[in-house]
Amino acid sequence: MSQEPKAIYLKDYKVPAYLFESTDLRFELFEDEALVHAELVITRNPACTASAPALELHGHESVELVSLSLDGRALTDNDYVREGEMLTIATPPERFCLTSTTRIHPESNTALEGLYKSGGMFCTQCEAEGFRRITFFPDRPDVMSVFRTTVEADKTRYPELLSNGNPVARGLADNNRHWVTWEDPFPKPAYLFALVAGDLQHIEDRFVTMSGRNVTLKIFAEEKDLDKLDYAMTSLKNAMKWDEETYGREYDLDIYMIVAVDFFNMGAMENKGLNIFNTSCVLANAATTTDSGFQRVEAVVAHEYFHNWSGNRVTCRDWFQLSLKEGFTVFRDAEFSADMNSRTVKRVEDVSLLRTAQFAEDAGPMAHPIRPESFIEISNFYTLTIYEKGAEVVRMVRTLLGEALFRKGSDLYFERHDGQAVTTEDFILAMEDASGQDLSQFRAWYHQAGTPELHVSDQFDAAAGEYKLTVKQSCPPSPGQEKKSAFHIPLAMGLLNEKGEEVELPNGETTQILNVTEFEQTFIFSGLSTKPVPSLLRGFSAPVKLFYPYQRDELMFLMAHDSDGFCRWDAAQKLAVDIMQALIADYHPDKAMVLDGRLVSAFRSVLDAEGLDKAMVSKVLTLPSEAYLSELSDCVDVDAIDAVRKFVRHSIAVQLEDRLRAVYQENDLDIAYSPDADSVARRSLKNLCLSYLMSLETEASLQLAKAQYEKADNMTDMQVALVLVAHSSFRSDAKALLADFYQRWSGESLVVNLWLSIQASDPNEGALSRVLELMQHPAFDGKNPNKLRSVISVFCAQNSTHFHALDGSGYRFLADRIIELNSQNPQIAARMLTPLTRWKKFSAARQALMKAELERIRESGDLSKDVFEVVSKSLV
């Protein structure tokens, strides 16, 4: 890069000068190039007040302009300016037709943006700014056009030719070629354009919408994966039905297609009528897919489907509004998954992710509000903040409005803005207009970054029977935001009396939402005879860190009595965190540790209790992750966290061994695999017991794990058994099982990814050299993001003692990979950089090593915008 990349600001937004009535594209696909012919009907935008504005089109430097003409007249170099990513025509007419031919190279496109090849097939990824790598076009979401697309390619290699909308014509051409024309009647921004050409098989089904229209559903994959498409189809139909029932949203085209591809930067993409999915988010069957894999498929299929309304019919005005579609759609898919499975379990999983990863992002150098003010590269803003925190913000809107008014608000939003490109402000306005509520203060959630903290204290006046809760809020500074205004925080709470019964609150119920709007506020509850135990942040009603000085006995009391499932789990987490944090603070390698017996007795009573939801039992018994304990630390002590977790797990296993074995046996049923919520729960409890037992490192537990591996009829049981043996000190058994596993599954790419991950996360000595060896293995492919994630990201995130080795070898390894990937696939390079950006959380010695690697990346030469932005912001 000759110049430093510049930031783009929300405040500079201007309406587009031209509208694009229609976009006619013809693709000629070859092995060594692709030609793209575009015919654009363009008119002045009456909403743009500039007189005689220039026409500005985006075009990536990799696009070769073969020809350009205006109303049939060929343009020469003097008629336009091509500079950087822009092509400008100074004074075009009011209405005209612009035709162009461009030449691009999908066969050598390793960035996986625009048109590229995944294995033997052509496919596209245009969000956010990939369309400019295909042809010259206003590549901004507020320019919407009706697309008509013809795809022409070799008939033998590419029998299936797909694009958005409905197929309207097809035919044969010379040289064994054929073509298909597609028409999408819905105006859309270029980022929703899609094209696929390949040798694909599909399954087909049908959905009848609530108004009685027939929709053909097709899911495409390579022939070898045809047996892994049924679950996605069922999930799709469930999602279509759910969106009709829950939001009144009906599908709008006659056909809905999903295509599975191996090479993909993210999870999946909601292109109108033609979703493109990473194979990891669509393929599933019992033999090859774990329970969490099934759940991911269900959630992602639903997510992309829900985008048809929250994203496609109503889209974003500009990329600063990304959370408008992503936050809302994540909220929608989370509620769908909650309805399909266990609601509390889904909530616990989402909150765990938010608290570990999103809170860490909010506290790091890339922290940004869910509606950012500026960016250098938008791809860097597909973050947990935009997605997960964005979903929490929508959830708070629903909490504040109540379900009925929230639905009224979403109806109004979809009706009012159908066919438009809008802002998060439009979303909030619709919610206000439909409900009559004032969300002015609530808007701070959109423009203030950082995780708010609530410090709660209480006071009981026995004589007056009065209980006072005092809530103080604050929010730490984040880049560019020193001081924050007070947030409007819905704090759901309840009170438990000394018998563990719920107290009736002023609203006549046992849960009430406190509107926290001031920096300090006191809430008074009267008519109480004894001091209650408060149950706070029920259902995790706001994405905040809540502090209340719970005694360990009070946490055990809440674990046993709280009527809110989320808070029961949270009490167990808090108890474990409190105990483990004390051990971490006190840690010394030569000093013996002692475990507070209350954790063991709490866990024992959960194991013994009759009739508890098994999924919840296994969540409660799962120790806080390394990542969560790290997030909670001011200065992460990698070795102490690792040692304490091992010690606590081992102590629990020693003391509860018989119970764990019994619960394992009770749940080890010989019945056919099903991914339903009850079966998933049973397997997760069983496998949790196995992992505790395996931490004993006895011959008996080794045999148990090996037996499970041998008899498993599903990937969940098989994978857990393999992980436990592979990560144990039984090195020869580990080696043998890993070899066996690879032999069985070398033909299944997604299973091989599990095999790679298991080895990359193996904490035994020599981890880094094993990782380097894995990268030489024929199963590894340095161009495939799934492989890169399975080895490199897994090593950095899940093998912390080795990644954070004090000789700096882990950091150096990652920096080397980033420097290689920077030119090959900038999006993946920037994403994989995340662990190094957190350097300020570590000891001085590690800080220095991490920072040196960031500096080495910065000085390594031509940086992509993606990597430049992350590195430069991290080094501030």
In angstroms, the CA 354 to CA 436 distance is 31
Residue from 265, 280, 352, 800 binding ligand TRP (CB under 6 A): 265
Closest distance between Zn ion and the C-beta of residue 328, in Å?
9
Nearer to ligand TRP, 98 or 266 (CB): 266
List, as one string, the DSSP characters of 572-610.
HHHHHHHHHHHHHHT--TTS-----HHHHHHHHHHHH-T
CA distances from 827 to 182, 358, 387 (A): 30, 19, 17
Residue from 266, 370, 537, 681 binding ligand TRP (CB under 6 A): 266
Residues 308-337, interacting with ligand TRP (CB under 6 A) = 326
* Residue 124 binds ligand TRP (CB under 6 A): no
* Residue 128 binds ligand TRP (CB under 6 A): yes
Closest distance between ligand TRP and the C-beta of residue 830, in Å?
11
The window from 124-132, 214-222, 343-351, 495-503 that contacts ligand TRP (CB under 6 A) reads 124-132
- Pick the closest to residue 638 from 629, 647, 650 (CA basis): 629
Nearer to ligand TRP, 131 or 842 (CB): 131
> Is the Cβ–Cβ distance between 850 and 842 less than 8 Å?
yes
Residue facing ligand TRP at closest CB distance: 266
* Residue 268 binds ligand TRP (CB under 6 A): yes
Closest distance between Zn ion and the C-beta of residue 304, in Å?
7
Do the strands 255-261 and 214-221 form a parallel or antiparallel pair, or are they unpaired? parallel
Query: How many residues belong to the chain?
Result: 876
Q: Which helix (H) or strand (E) holds 653?
A: helix 638-666
From start to end of 164-307, where are the E strands?
Answer: 166-173, 177-189, 195-198, 201-208, 214-221, 255-261, 268-269, 274-278
- Who's near 518: CB < 8 A, 6+ residues apart? 473, 486
Residue from 270, 631, 642, 869 binding ligand TRP (CB under 6 A): 270
> Is the Cβ–Cβ distance between 628 and 352 less than 8 Å?
yes
Residue from 127, 142, 458, 762 binding ligand TRP (CB under 6 A): 127
Q: Can you name the residues that pair with 73 across neighbouring β-strands?
A: 70
Nearer to ligand TRP, 158 or 382 (CB): 382
Residues 365-384, interacting with ligand TRP (CB under 6 A) = 379, 382
In angstroms, the CA 654 to CA 7 distance is 56
Nearer to ligand TRP, 231 or 382 (CB): 382
* Contact footprint for Zn ion (CB under 5 A): 326, 329
Nearer to ligand TRP, 58 or 303 (CB): 303
Closest distance between ligand TRP and the C-beta of residue 312, in Å?
10
Nearer to Zn ion, 388 or 502 (CB): 388
* Residue 432 binds ligand TRP (CB under 6 A): no
Residue 353: count of CB within 10 angstroms of its CB: 16
Nearer to ligand TRP, 276 or 454 (CB): 276
266 binding partner (options ligand TRP, Zn ion, none; Cβ < 5 to 8 Å by kind)? ligand TRP
> Is the Cβ–Cβ distance between 780 and 757 less than 8 Å?
no
Q: What three-state secondary structure class fits 149?
A: strand
291 binding partner (options ligand TRP, Zn ion, none; Cβ < 5 to 8 Å by kind)? none
Nearer to ligand TRP, 44 or 789 (CB): 789
379 binding partner (options Zn ion, ligand TRP, none; Cβ < 5 to 8 Å by kind)? ligand TRP
* Residue 788 binds ligand TRP (CB under 6 A): no
Q: What three-state secondary structure class fits 72?
A: coil
128 binding partner (options ligand TRP, Zn ion, none; Cβ < 5 to 8 Å by kind)? ligand TRP
Closest distance between ligand TRP and the C-beta of residue 311, in Å?
7
Q: Is 658 exposed, middle or buried (0-12, 13-18, 19+ CB in 10 A)?
A: exposed
Q: Is 304 a catalytic residue?
A: yes
Handedness of CA 334, 335, 337, 343 (dihedral sign): positive
Nearer to Zn ion, 102 or 329 (CB): 329
The window from 59-67, 123-131, 162-170, 210-218 that contacts ligand TRP (CB under 6 A) reads 123-131
* Residue 116 binds ligand TRP (CB under 6 A): no
Supply the angle between the helices 230-247 and 322-340 in degrees, to the nearest 10.
Answer: 110
* Residue 304 binds ligand TRP (CB under 6 A): yes
The window from 267-275, 649-657, 659-667, 680-688 that contacts ligand TRP (CB under 6 A) reads 267-275
Upper half-sphere CA count for residue 164 (Cβ side, 13 Å) = 29
Whether residue 128 has a cis bond before it, omega within 30° of 0: yes
382 binding partner (options Zn ion, ligand TRP, none; Cβ < 5 to 8 Å by kind)? ligand TRP
268 binding partner (options Zn ion, ligand TRP, none; Cβ < 5 to 8 Å by kind)? ligand TRP
The window from 122-130, 313-321, 422-430, 727-735 that contacts ligand TRP (CB under 6 A) reads 122-130
Tokens of 385: 């903040």
- Catalytic pick from 304, 388, 392, 631? 304
| 50: DSSP letter | -
Closest distance between ligand TRP and the C-beta of residue 249, in Å?
17
| 419: DSSP letter | T
In angstroms, the CA 340 to CA 325 distance is 22
Q: Where does this chain bind ligand TRP (CB under 6 A)?
A: 125, 127-128, 265-266, 268-270, 303-304, 326, 379, 382
The catalytic site residues sit at 304
